[in-house]
A and B are shown apart, each in its own frame.
Chain A
Amino acid sequence: MRLEFTEEEQAFREEVRAFLKLQLPAQIREKVLNGWELSRADHVMWQRRLHDRGWGGMSWPIEFGGPGWNSVQLYIFEEESALAGAPRLIPFGTKMVAPVIMAFGNAAQQQRFLPKISSGDEWWCQGYSEPGAGSDLASLKTRAVLDGDHYVVNGQKTWNTLGQYADWIFCLVRTDTQSKPQSGISFLLIDMKSPGITVRPIKLLDGGHEVNEIWFEDVRVPIQNRIGDENKGWTYAKFLLGHERTNIAGVGGSKRELARLKHIAAVERKNGRPLIEDPLFAAHIAQVEIELWALEITNLRVLSAERGSRAPGPEASILKIRGTEIGQRISELMMRAVGPYALPFRREAMEAGWQSDPTRDPAGPPYAATLAAAYMNLRKLSIFGGTNEIQKNIISKMIVGL
């Protein structure tokens, strides 16, 4: 038993670091490290740089144009990327639909879609949740009816992340209403430019636009855009959800934010002393840091057990619950660290380049403006990707066997 990575893995880490140092644009890094908003162009540019290095499909095997990394290498890549301030990977293309296309798509689909996912030329989004089908995804109602060589799709999807940027959407649709819910679902790839698709923004509590409702009204989808067999979509969906859960612990991102918390607590003053010296606040930081350390080791144990294979098992639910709780706690402590200056809320301060009136003392330190909004926004962590309550059900059923 040992905690250290192998020499090969250490060398790989150095390789990733060198790449990030050379290729990550300073203005993107600055946005990430300060919690400012990233544009579509930022994400696409970063995906392009990864692609040019051969890492566009970072979790893919070599035969599909990926680097063929194992799960430990992928972990190292993601940790280093997060620590360096690289954009959070938008998972819908590379990590969600791509593995499904590789495993269940035909050769034509693989050739058509995979290269443009890797290169960032096509942005993907997800059509899973519906107003009546959240935790109970299998109860989805969006209908697809075969009409010649096309499906005609009608229905509504919701909680669609960044669909306003997307070129394609992968959708779960109901193709059979007679059998039990899980058996009547198919998996379709739909061009977002298809007539009959309407994307409507959902404004969130922090004022941001990152999710949408999507309406499908007689949208015609060529039958060759169906993945695998009709009515087998639930199998593919479950496979996909397994892949969504790689890097679910977000250890690298939490390490980066923890460092930011400590920086803020060192600058902030309480009774004339740095806040980080306040015993209670220092204990809060220590508590979350220790929990993160434990999570990191738990995560490495899971990785070690599955070195070689790719989709994590039900232990991923442990990582999701603790990872999101820790992420939320760090954001809460950052908000509390700035005291009264957590209260001002200026939407414009979420964007790079915003400055308060330079002729007078600013209303609060520059890092304070985004913290409460981030705290509120990150409440989503314990809701999306399967609520933490659902994850506990998975643990008690799949791991414990209750």
Chain B
Amino acid sequence: MNFEFSDEQQQLHDSVDRYLAEQYSFEKFRAINASQAGWDTAAWAGLAELGVLAINVPAALGGLGFGPLETLAMMGPCGRSLMLEPYLSSAVIATAALRAYTDDAEARELLSRMAAGQAIAVLAHFESESRFETQWASTRAERTQAGYRLDGHKAVVMHAAAADTLLVSARTSGAASDTTGVTLFRVPRSAPGLTLDSYPTIDGQRAADVYLKGVELPAACRLGAEGTALPVIESALDIGLAALCAEAVGVMQALVDATVTYVQTRQQFGVAIGRFQALQHRIADMLIHLEQARSMSYLAALRCSDENVTERRRALSAAKAVIGQACRFVGQQAVQLHGGMGMTDELVVSHWFKRLTAAELMFGDSDTHLQRYAALTR
């Protein structure tokens, strides 16, 4: 048993933390958030230069060949700085999915370019009816003479507009909720018939609903054998879930820090409000939630690539249930203890609160995972 980062992981954490503290201030976040694109190519290039886009890419393809623990080490700082760039979507989730297809020359090429910051890919899987159920896919892929034709609608695809390539799941056979028959396709965002309805999310990131209408693809755009993609998608989403948990813990730490500072500074009734025991206990509760969440973020990182799928999903659902509840408590109480100031757009506190609100909802809220855990445990 050992809960320390290795020297290498610690260095990674420190370098990312330092880089973002210097290069990604709250003012920078606000400026990027206010821009049309909602993310910054220069910041992305900076991350590429730092090497962190290559963390999850195999060494043979120009990556660092690291895994979930290194991702854990760097997601906390990403959360604290409210990074808006598609790190989780592209450098973690899509990268994890593509790693399953390294016998495909195009996939290898794409991974190499992603590691270097020259390409961005995102997974477009969930649909409006799937809620958070991973096996659901009603988007159809029909065989044509040249390859496939895709028709369907993907819901709330994070960072779709920033991507050059969408990894789109579609049914080559079976009914919408079958566990087999799902196939993954590399789809250029510029493909005729693919359109986006783009919008910001509640925390200022960008997402889109993706519409596929008669999108013609050559057969080479199919990843792997027909009908075998669901385990790959679920594995990538689980790796993403662990990273999201680590990001949320980074945000919670920032909110606890900010709240402690605020109650020591804010004077009412002639004293700092941190002198009131009711508020001291509230902050103690926030800290308990934070530490329980941190523990579960470690569990998630340690188990998210476990080969035993049941154990893996049980651990991840336990983690997301605990962390989702913590997101809610810490976020709500941080706003409450900041009073009216916590409600303002001007203060970073409300933006951390919004990121936690989004984190709790993404990939299934705490209720969804509580029920999933119960189903896997009984």
Contact = CB atoms under 8 A, between A and B. Distances in A.
A126 interface: no
A356 B199 CA distance: 11
A380 B345 contact: no
B350 interface: yes
Interchain residue pairs A-B with the least CB separation, the first 10: A205-B350, A363-B209, A136-B268, A203-B345, A345-B202, A340-B156, A343-B201, A339-B131, A372-B202, A344-B199
Interface string A132-171: 1011100100000000000000000011000000000000
Interface in B161-217: 177, 195, 197, 199-202, 207-209, 211
A360 to B, nearest CB: 5
Nearest to A333: B367
B345 A343 contact: no
A344 B361 CA distance: 11
Contact of A376 (B202, B279, B361): B202
Interface size band for B: 35 or more
Interface of B: 126, 128-129, 131-133, 153, 155-156, 177, 195, 197, 199-202, 207-209, 211, 267-270, 273, 276, 278-279, 328, 332, 335-336, 339-340, 342-346, 350-351, 353-354, 357-358, 361-362, 365, 367, 370-371
B362 A379 contact: no
Interface residues of A, number: 51
19 contacts: A134-B268, A135-B269, A135-B273, A136-B268, A136-B269, A136-B270, A202-B344, A284-B367, A336-B361, A343-B201, A343-B361, A345-B199, A346-B200, A364-B155, A376-B357, A379-B332, A380-B343, A387-B339, A388-B336
Nearest to B364: A339
Contacts of A361: 128, 153, 209, 211
B88 to A, nearest CB: 14
Q: Is the interface of A mostly helix, strand, loop or mixed?
A: mixed
B357 A375 contact: yes
A305 B121 CA distance: 65
Contacts of A389: 276, 278-279
Given A360-B211, A376-B357, A204 B199 contact: no
A383 B155 contact: no
Contacts of A372: 202, 357
B203 to A, nearest CB: 8
A231 interface: no
Contacts of B131: 269-271, 339-340
Interface in A274-309: 280-281, 284
Contacts of A376: 202, 350, 353-354, 357
A358 to B, nearest CB: 12
A341 B201 CA distance: 10
Contacts of B335: 379, 383
Contacts of B332: 379
B207 A344 contact: yes
Interface in A42-83: none
Contacts of B351: 205
A343 B207 contact: yes
B202 A373 contact: yes
Given A136-B268, A382-B336, A383-B339, 15 more contacts: A135-B269, A135-B339, A139-B268, A139-B269, A270-B131, A271-B131, A272-B177, A280-B371, A343-B202, A343-B362, A344-B200, A344-B207, A361-B128, A363-B209, A379-B343
B213 to A, nearest CB: 8
A202 B195 CA distance: 37
A129 interface: yes
A333 to B, nearest CB: 10
Interface centre among A271, A344, A361 (most CB of B within 10 A): A344
A340 B364 CA distance: 8
Contacts of A240: none
B202 A159 contact: no
A356 B343 CA distance: 28
A394 B128 CA distance: 47
A203 B126 contact: no
Nearest to A363: B209
A207 interface: yes
Given A343-B207, A343-B358, A389-B278, A203 B340 contact: no
B82 to A, nearest CB: 13
A364 B207 CA distance: 13
B346 A203 contact: yes
Interface in A359-393: 360-361, 363-364, 372-373, 375-376, 379-380, 382-384, 387-389, 392
A336 B354 contact: no
Contact of B340 (A129, A269, A336, A360): A129
Contact of B156 (A284, A363, A388): A363
A7 interface: no
A86 interface: no
B340 A205 contact: no
B344 A344 contact: no
Nearest to A361: B153
Contacts of A172: none
Contacts of B342: 379, 383
A340 B199 contact: no
Contact of B361 (A202, A204, A281, A340): A340
Interface centre among B208, B268, B279, B351 (most CB of A within 10 A): B268
B372 to A, nearest CB: 11
B202 A280 contact: no
A118 B133 CA distance: 54
A352 B93 CA distance: 37
Contacts of A363: 155-156, 197, 199, 208-209
A271 B131 CA distance: 8
A159 B339 CA distance: 11
B193 to A, nearest CB: 12
Contacts of B344: 202-205
Contacts of B208: 363
A357 B156 CA distance: 16
Contact of B202 (A135, A270, A336, A342): A342
Given A205-B343, A269-B131, A361-B211, A336 B367 contact: yes
A341 B155 contact: yes
Given A271-B133, A344-B201, A361-B153, A205 B128 contact: no
Contacts of B268: 134-136, 139
Contacts of A360: 153, 195, 197, 211
Nearest to A203: B345
B357 A159 contact: no
Contact of B336 (A158, A345, A356, A379): A379
Given A281-B367, A376-B202, A357 B350 contact: no
